[in-house]
Amino acid sequence: KYIPVFSIKRDILPEDLLGRQTSVINTHEISDYLSRKVVMVTGAGGSIGSCLCRQIVTFNPKEVLLFDHNENDVYYLSIELLKKYPHITFRNVFGDVRDIGLLKHVFSFYKPEVVFHTAAHKHVPLMEENPVAATKNNVIGSRNLIYAADHYQVERFILISTDKAVNPTNVMGMTKRVIEMILQSKAKQSKTKFM
């Protein structure tokens, strides 16, 4: 007869593995700054950006700008979102955050009120092999976006960063840390709420 050495009295929860208290999300506060607003998501077609878009639409924004350089990902995401949320306007913006002319056009024409910036090169081994590409995209592109948000007086700018930026030991982490520092510096002198 098999006798278990131990028995689990309940299912294991994600909170058991966190090593910290769980965060409580204030959905009322989020709704206050997303509802009926023009929201732009850079890197909208990526894994983080598309997941964020699926969450943003539940707060009933007026319009969502799906900004990405990958047309297929944005195309399929926009079809998915249009089917589920026909009352929300979706705009597909194909381009690169390094393109200042495009950013000027997008910010002046669509007038986004909230920007979620997820567009970044994130794969550590690839960025170790391509530090110039990582710097151009993650630092220069992000800086362009931060300056545009400030210039066009966006209400809120949310930078999606990474734990790799806390104590950077690789190219990707360093690029994200540099942009965090630029964002913090701009936040001190801007009406835009940089987060």
pLDDT tens-place string over residues 121-134: 888 899 999 999 99
pLDDT tens, position by position, 158-191: 999 877 778 888 898 999 999 999 999 999 999 9
Tell me the pLDDT tens digit for each residue of 63-79.
Answer: 999 999 999 999 999 99
- CA pair distance 88, 64, nearest whole angstrom: 8
Residue 11 backbone dihedrals phi, psi, to 5 degrees: -70, 150
Closest CA to 80 of 72, 95, 104: 72
Alpha-carbon distance of 76 to 167, in angstroms, equals 36
**Model-level pTM greater than 0.85?**
yes
Residue 84 annotated as catalytic: no
pLDDT, position 163: 76
Task: Single out the catalytic residue among 84, 164, 188, 193.
Answer: 164
Count, residues in the chain: 195
pLDDT value at 7 more than 80: no
| Residue 32: C-alpha distances to residues 42, 61, 100, 110, 164 (Å) | 21, 10, 30, 20, 31
**Which SS3 state, helix, strand or coil, does residue 91 take?**
strand
Among positive and negative, which fits the CA dihedral 5, 8, 12, 16? negative
Percent over 70 (pLDDT), the chain: 96
